[in-house]
């Protein structure tokens, strides 16, 4: 996972904003898996301070995995060769070329990863 993605994730969450992100994680056995993750910020009712985060995860299909893993590999290469800021700039350039915001890009990944809208159904349950 590129540091750029974690920086975006934590910057957004610390500002109290929800986020959608594709995360590569490890199983207990040490195998990697990819998940489309929607993270919500929960605040204290009285103080409005951030209390915790709730994440909803769903698997992604192979096509979405190939797209995101290629992008993440490119961002990580830029970070390693130059800097975190260069990785962030690379990602912004990628999104600008596609004329997409980060949120719009993740929405496209979510739709390709989860054509039946499982995440939306899960969120309605809670």
Q: Give me the phi and psi of 20, to 5 degrees please.
A: -115, 135
User: Which H helix or E strand runs over 102?
Assistant: helix 102-113
Q: 3-class DSSP state for residue 32?
A: strand
Is 3-125 CATH 1.10.10? no
Averaged in consecutive runs of 10 residues, what is the pLDDT profile of the chain (126 residues)? 93 93 89 91 92 91 87 96 96 94 88 54 42
Q: Taking the complete model, does pTM exceed 0.85, yes or no?
A: no
* Sign of the four-CA dihedral 48, 49, 50, 52: negative
């Amino acid at each position: 996972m590129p540091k750029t993605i974690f920086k975006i994730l934590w910057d957004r969450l610390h500002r109290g904003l929800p986020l959608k992100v594709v995360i590569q994680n490890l199983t207990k056995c040490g195998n990697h898996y990819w998940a489309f993750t929607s993270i919500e910020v929960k605040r204290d009712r009285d103080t409005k301070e951030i209390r915790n985060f709730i994440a909803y995860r769903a698997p992604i299909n192979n096509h979405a995995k190939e797209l995101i893993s290629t992008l993440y590999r490119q961002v990580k290469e830029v970070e390693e060769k130059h800097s975190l800021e260069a990785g962030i700039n690379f990602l912004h350039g990628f999104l600008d070329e596609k004329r997409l915001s980060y949120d719009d890009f993740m929405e496209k990944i979510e739709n390709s990863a989860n054509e039946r809208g499982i995440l939306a159904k899960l969120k309605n349950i809670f």
